Structure 1
Amino acid sequence: MADNRRRRMISLIVSFLFSVSLSCLCLAPIPASAHLKFGVNGKFKILQVADMHFATGATTRCEDVLPSQTAHCSDLNTTAFMSRVIAAEKPDLIVFTGDNIFGADAIDAKKSLNAAFAPAIASKIPWVAVLGNHDQESTLTRQGLMNHIVKLPNTLSQVNPPEAAHYIDGFGNYNLQVHGAADSSLQNKSVLNLYLLDSGDYSKVDSLNSKYDWIKTSQQFWFDRTSKRLQKEYNAKPNPQVGSAPGLAFFHIPLPEFWSFDSTNTTKGVRQEPISSATTNSGFFTTLVTRGDVKSVFVGHDHVNDFCGELKGLNLCYGGGFGYHAYGKAGWERRARVVVVDLNKKSNGSWGDVKSIRTWKRLDDEHLSVIDTQLLWNSSAKGLVVPRL
């Protein structure tokens, strides 16, 4: 009986979302210049969705689920899970960290993307996406995918930053600024910076013997310049601040430094498969640590890893596999990562700069269980490190 009720609920949710998404697709997207802001509660919440692997919808079967789930499980379970977790968490931003569609099984990339993002579009919550290694295996190139994504409603995604479009590698490199709370002294200043990058798909350099791609020198150059510019703006009048606003980075393929963690030294979560990073190290971890503003990196790619680990002051976190057409582990629930950034409260009761960064995961079980709540960064505990400009 419970399974029947769940199937009926999924069917109703998907039917509603399909009709809503069709009507939404004619709406204009959010302007790229629009600023994200902290809420009046002093919080900014991000929902990370990793590896949906969406294909054709109801006809696409699930991978690695329990025998009792097999007969009625499809892409629509992914859609229903997203709708449930959005309703439960009410995030301020949804971040899709690649392999949004599984290109090999997606007959029409545009239709698959539209269906994959439909719950986010229907929610009218701002959302962004980067690409994984499977998105381009259907009917669109990586550039074509991003060109389509940026035209969808409610997205703040960008193909590439205008100032770097002539030199930067990949498609889907951009920065988002999150301003302080309304009516605070920092309402017109970015107090949290989000960096989204294209980690590529597969290596094009045979001599390096690496299956997967990596974040290139041109992207690191753009990140370094952007980080330094944002620090200058943070330090500038009016209301000059000390140091750098904290940052978060989102991309698909993990850095080689994720190999530093196993069951003995992860802070929360599990490692259940090898780290599928590039075998060559492009140095992006060192670039991030040297700048010092990014406090956490969030990736996907390895679906049954969902751990966070801290190395040299930088948190390296997996989202955990979200999609039902992606490989997984039967009985190990699909999951999403939630990241909450909290502001300091001043003595006069107004909101100030960032105080802390917390995270937890939501499971696609009957209760949308919350697990692995943890503090990733705290301004008072870590002290203030001023990056060199």
Structure 2
Amino acid sequence: MLTLSLRADLGVVISASHNPYQDNGIKLFGPDGYKLSDDEEAANEALMAGDMLDTKLAPTEALGRAKRLEDAPGRYIEFVKQTFPRGLRLEGLKIVVDCAHGAAYRVAPAVFYELGADVIPIGVDPDGTNINQLCGATDTTMMREQVVLSGADIGIALDGDADRMIVADETAAILDGDQIMALFAARWAAQGRLAQDTLVATVMSNLGLENFLESKDLHLKRTAVGDRHVVAEMRSGGYNLGGEQSGHIVMTDYGTTGDGLAAGLQFLAAMIETGEPASALARSFDTVPQMLKNVRFGEGQDPLGAASVQSAISAAEAAVQGRGRILIRKSGTEPLIRVMAECDDDGLLSQVIDGIVAEITSVTAA
């Protein structure tokens, strides 16, 4: 938002996203407000790996000046409030908001308070090392406990950089990104707002979401895992709603990236406009049983290239045909093969997962 607002050439974010502070890295945003593409990032990394430090750095006297934008939080607060329907207020709602000791620790409670809610903020004491630690969107225990203790209407958990959010309803049951996207897609379609009647999600989204959308004559476009792939598909196809099961919700009517606070406001707007509690709103579909197992492999190994593993995968796909699906992929950050399956039969689900895992394990141990 600020990169666009300031007409900057580049936006730089230091973030570990939903991970511990030791994993801090750099996110780069172009002048259009979107993350740089994979190709652009690869080109930057190649430049840094070369002789840039010796030959391409500007001399000290040519450097510009760093200026602190004192009103940046206020600018964002006003921006995100504009995503909330005019005329609506949050009076009468008690909201627990878990800010994960992260970027939104001040602005998120302020936004809900300014819109009239009774706000119970947690995860708002950052010390530089406790970000995402036993809190936030990846560990909702504290939020759920606080919802019960306070009798709150809803809990909203953000991650460290606040680009994803997870909801706890008034019973402290968790609603993930799939359920949230289903709610938004159905509402937007009914309002004539869902571009091309299509939602964009990743291959990890539950088959139940796909079945639900089909029942509403809506479409699902699947992408590789990662919000950048979701955004790329949305931009190329002209879609305006997408996200991930993990809680990234991208709404290009409002911004260029996932925004947990904006998504939370959309959920709250649905509660107010329908008069329904959170528990009734986001139970759009029954999830198809899903199982995920990881198999570690050694350096230089390529277990997915083994004929026996491919045979096991083909057999599993045949076994669940018409009843589920199989997804096998390498982790992008660790030496792991992720084996995911969905099936309407729990016994068959365990059988096909265990068969694939056993074959991959056998190959890696050889």
Q: State whether TM-score is above 0.5.
A: no
Give the TM-score of the pair, scaled to structure 2.
0.28
TM (norm. structure 1) is 0.27
Larger radius of gyration: 2
Q: Which of structures 1 and 2 has the larger relative contact order (alpha carbons within 8 angstroms, sep 6+)?
A: 1
